[in-house]
Chain A
Amino acid sequence: MKKIIVFLMMALPIAASAQEPAAQQLATAVSRLNTAHATAEYQQLANQFQRLAAAQPDQWLPVYYAAVANMRIAFLNKEKAMLFSAQAEEQIKQAISLLKKSGGSPKDEAEAYTVYSFIERARVEADPMVNGRQYGPLAGQYLAQARKLDPQNPRALYLDGLIKFQTPAMWGGDKEKAKELFTAALQQFATPPASAVAPQWGQSDCKSMLEQAK
C-alpha cells in the first residue's frame, strides 16, 4: 500500500509537469536551475530546456537555458567537457541569432555573451595546457562584449571576478579586484529578476566565491 502511495507521489509531479503550459514549465525549471548542484540535475534540466526550445523555436530563453545547463555540465564533467561545451556553444549561438532577429535588448544580449564566455572558459579548464591558448582569449573577448553591452550584469561581473581570482597575480590576476567584482555582482544579484523566467542563476556560486575570497 505504502509503495503504491510512494509511486503515486512520484508519478504525480511527472504527470503534472506534462500538463503544465510551457511558460509555467520554463519558470519551474528556471527556479530548479537556481538550486541545482549535481551533473544529473543539470542533465535533466538541459533535456527539459531542450524540449521547451523545440516546442518554442522562436523563443531565445529556452535555448539560452539549455546552453547554461550544458555549460554547467562542461565545468563539472572534465572528461566530456569538450562535447558538452560544443553542444552549449551551438545552443548559445542559436539564442544569440534569435535575439538579433527579434531585436533583443542589449541586456539580453549581454546575458547570452556572458554564457558564451563561460563556455569558452569551461574549455580552457578542461585541459589548460592544450586549450588555454586557443580558448582563453575567446573567453576574454566574449566577456568584454558582454560587459560592454551591460556593465551591471551580475553574471558577467561574477565571471570577471572569477577569472581575476583564479589567475595568478603576476599575470594580471588580482584577488582584491576579484572581491570587489564579486561584491558588485552580489549587489546586482539582489535586484529581483525582471520575471520568473529572466536569467537569475549564479547567485549562490558568487556568494561562495566571495566567501573564498575573504
Chain B
Amino acid sequence: MKTLCIFFLLAVTASYNAFSQQIIGRVTDKSGRPLEGAGVAIIGTADGATSDSTGAFRFQTSAAGPLMLQVSYLGYKTREVPVQAGVPVTVKLVTDPATLAPVVVSAGSFTAGDKSKGAVMTAMDVVSVAGNGGDVANAVRTLPGAQQIGEREGLFVRGGTGLETRQFIDGTLVPQPYFAALPGLPQFNRISSPFLFDGIVFSSGGYSALYGQGLSGALVLETQDLPDKSSAVVGISPMVAVAGVQRLARNKRSSFSLNTRYMTWEYYARLVPQNPEYAKGPAYAITEANLRAKTGKTGMLKVYANFGYHHAGLYKNDVDSTALRNGFMSEDRNLYVNISHRSMPGKNWRLDLAAAFNHNTTDIRRTVTDAFKNPVHIPQAPYLYKEGDSSATETFAQARAVISRYFPGSQVLRAGGEVQLGWRDELYAAFAEMEWKLATSLALRTGLRFEHSRLLRDAVLAPRISLAYRLGSNSQLNAAYGVFYQKAEMPYLFTNPDLPQAKATHYILNYLRHGNNRLFRAELFYKQYNRLLTTTGQPAMNGRGQAHGLEFFWRDKKSIPLLDYWVSYSYLHTKREHLHYPGLLAPSYAAPHTLSIVAKRFFEPIRTSVNLSYAYAAGRPYYDISATGQLRDKGTTKAYSVLNLSLAHMLSLFPHWKEKDFTVIALGVNNILGTKQVFGYEYSYNGANKAPLTLPATRNFFIGIFMSLGIDRTADYLNENL
C-alpha cells in the first residue's frame, strides 16, 4: 500500500513537472515581518498566488524563459524580481509614501470645522456642546489649554489673559469680538454663528507667522463659500428671536443672506431672579448680511457685514456699604465689515486679499445709588471712583494680502503684508512662511513676521518654527517655537504712546495619535513672558512671567456605540507680574487643573440628541491688592465644577410642504446640580469685607424652537450617527 502511494505521488508530481514549474518564496516588509495577502504573479501570465500568514507563497507556472515576478501589497511599493523555478525567493517591500496622508504641522493647534481632515470638531459639535449657547469661542473652552472662566468673556489660554487670544476671520483681526464687558458677567461674542464658518483652528500657542498681535493664542476662523441651496430659518424662545434667509442664485455663482437676531434677558430675569439685578436687558440686536460671489474661473468674493446693538442695566450691592448699590448702564453699537477675495492667478499660485473695518461706540454710566436705585453722590473714596460716565469711539481698519506658491510634494511658500489702522496708530506687518516636506515623514514650517508701529516707533521680528515628524502611520511628534508680540491696550497707549509691545516666547512639544475614530493628543509647553505691561506706577513694559504645563486630549467616537465623547485635561503652572500685581503672582484667572468632558448621543427612535458637558477647575487664587499696591489678603477659591445638559428634539412640523421643514426643539439647563460657584472675590476698599463673584443665578435654563427650510442642518447629526 505504502509503496503504491509513493509511486502514485511520484507519478503525479512527475507529470506536473513535465510541463510546469514551481515558484516558491516569501514576502516581507523592510524589517522582515511577513506580509499576508500580498499578490504575486508572473508578468505576462495569469499565474500567481497570494502570500499566506507567514508571507509564504507557492504556485505552478507553465511559462517558459526568464521569469519576472511581480509582488504587490497595498500601501507598499510594487516590486518586480527575476525568479527561477524551484529556487525560493524572498521579496522585501517598502512602504509607498504616496499612500500615506501627508504629515501636517500641528503643534499647539486644534482644527475644527467641516473642511479639514484632521478636524477635532465640526460646526455641529460647536452648536451642540451643552451650555455654550452655540458660541464658537465657548465651545473651544472644552479643549485643553483654555480656562473655565465664568465671570467674564474671552479665551484665557495657558496663563494668558482673555485679551491675549485674538480672533481672526478670513485672515483679518477682529478687534472687538465681544460686546462691551459687563462687570462680573461673561459677555457674548458678536460673531458667533458656527455655521458661518467651515474652518476653525484654535491655537493655544506657537501659531503661524501669518497672524500676530496675540500673545497667547489665536482663534482662526474661515468663512464658508457658497451654500448648497437656498434656505430660511426662524426661531423663537423666551430670550431669543431669530429670522434669516439665504438665497443662492439660479446659476449657483452667487448667494446673498440676511440674518437678524434679537436677544433679551429682561423677561427671563423676571422669571428667574438674577444677581446682579437685571434692570434693563441685557439685550442684543444683531443683523448680519452676507454676499458671496464667484469671480472669473477661480475667484471667490465674500462680503460680510455685522451690525450689533447692545444695552444693559445692572444693579448690585455695594461691597463697601450695605446701604448702597452700584448701577451699571451700558450701550454699545458696533459695525463690522469684512471683504475678502481669493483667486488662483496661476496654476500654482493663490492670492488672498482681505479688508476689514470695525466701528464701535460704547457709552457707560456708573452710579452709586441708595436701596431704591436713586443716585447718591458721596464725594469721597471709594464711592467717588464708582461713578462716572465714559464714552468711547473706536475705529479700526485693516487691509491684507497673502500670496501662496505651491511646490511639488505639497510644499507651500506664503508671503504677504498687512496694515492695521487703529487709534492714532498704523501697524505694518510683513510675513513669509514656508512649509517644507523634508522627507516623507518630516515636515517643517518656518516663518518670520515683521511688525512696525508708527506710534510706538519700534520694529519687531517674530520668528516661528514648527516641525512634524511621523512616528508611525497614525502617530506623529510635533514641536514648535515662536516669538509673539502684542501692543498694549488703547487706554494705556493713550497716556504712554511709547510703550513697546508685550512679548512672549513659546516652546511646545506635542504627540498626536489618531485613526479609527479616536484621537489622542498630549502637549507639553513652556511659555515665557519676556515683557508685560505693569501699572503699579506709570504704565511700563517691565512685567514678566512664565507658564508651563501638560495637556491631554482624547476623543473617541468608536468604543461605545452611538456615544461620542471627548475629554480634555490641562495642568498649568504660571506666575506673572503684570498690571497692578505687586510682584510675581499666579494670576487670579489661572486654575492649576482643568478637566472638561463632553458626551453626546443621538437617540434615533425618539429623534433626540442628548448632550452633557462637565467641567472641573481646581480652585483659583484670589488677591486683595489695596489702592496703594499692598497685597493685603490672598487665598484660593473652592473648586469649580459644573454639569450642563442640553436636549435637542428634531421633527418636521409640515412634512407635506414642498420644502419640508426641519425643526429643532432645544432645551438646556446649565449647572444642573446647582453647585455654588465662586470665581473670585471682590474686596471692600478697606479690605474688611469681601463678596464672592458668582453666577447671576444658580441654574440657567434655555428653551427654544428653531425651524429651517431648505437646508437640513439635522444632516450634520446624521453624519455623526450613521
Contact = CB atoms under 8 A, between A and B. Distances in A.
Given A14-B58, A44-B50, A129 B720 contact: yes
B517 interface: yes
A19 to B, nearest CB: 7
B36 interface: yes
Interface stretch (A163-171, A186-194, A204-212): A163-171
A55 B46 contact: yes
Contacts, number: 118
A51 B47 contact: yes
Given A19-B20, A83-B75, A129-B122, A51 B58 contact: no
A46 B299 CA distance: 44
B47 A18 contact: yes
A170 B722 CA distance: 13
Interface stretch (A104-112, A120-128, A144-152): A120-128
Contact of B722 (A1, A51, A124): A124
A168 B60 contact: no
B631 to A, nearest CB: 50
A173 to B, nearest CB: 9
B718 A167 contact: yes
A196 B36 CA distance: 29
A51 B41 contact: yes
A171 B714 contact: yes
Given A8-B12, A19-B60, A128 B722 contact: yes
Contacts of B117: 130
27 contacts: A4-B5, A4-B6, A4-B9, A14-B60, A15-B20, A18-B20, A18-B47, A18-B60, A19-B60, A39-B37, A43-B36, A44-B37, A46-B39, A47-B37, A47-B39, A47-B72, A48-B50, A54-B43, A80-B74, A87-B74, A125-B722, A127-B517, A129-B122, A129-B557, A129-B719, A136-B719, A168-B604
A8 B59 CA distance: 13
A133 to B, nearest CB: 6
A25 B99 CA distance: 31
B719 A133 contact: yes
Contacts of B41: 47, 50-51, 54
A87 B98 CA distance: 13
Interface string A2-21: 00110010011011001100
B5 A170 contact: no
Top 8 nearest A-B pairs by Cβ distance? A47-B39, A132-B719, A55-B46, A43-B37, A128-B722, A18-B60, A44-B50, A15-B60
Contacts of A127: 517
B653 interface: no
Contacts of A52: 46
A46 to B, nearest CB: 7
A79 B473 CA distance: 11
Contacts of B627: none
Contacts of B122: 129
Contacts of A79: 515-516
Interface string B642-682: 00000000111000000000000000000000000000000
Given A1-B5, A15-B20, A132-B722, A80 B75 contact: yes
B719 to A, nearest CB: 3
Contacts of A78: 516
A22 interface: yes
Interface residues of B, number: 52
Contacts of B9: 4-5, 8
A84 B49 CA distance: 19
B119 interface: yes
Contacts of A46: 39
Contacts of B321: none
A128 B720 contact: yes
A168 B517 contact: no
A72 to B, nearest CB: 13
A134 B618 CA distance: 42
Interface string A78-110: 111001101100000000000000000000000
A40 B722 contact: no
A52 B50 CA distance: 13
Contacts of B230: none
B62 interface: yes
Interface string B113-125: 0100101001000
A14 B309 CA distance: 80
Contacts of A84: 74
B108 interface: no
Contacts of B650: 170
B722 A166 contact: yes
B119 A130 contact: yes
A122 to B, nearest CB: 13
B14 to A, nearest CB: 12
A207 to B, nearest CB: 23
Interface in B277-302: none
Interface in B613-661: 650-652
A40 B718 contact: no
Interface string A157-195: 000000000111111000000000000000000000000
Given A51-B41, A128-B722, A167-B718, A14 B5 contact: no
B715 interface: yes
Interface in B587-605: 604
Nearest to A131: B719
Interface string B42-71: 011111111000000011111000000000
B192 interface: no
Contacts of B12: 8, 12
B45 A133 contact: no
Contacts of B652: 170
B721 A168 contact: yes
B712 interface: yes
A8 B721 CA distance: 52
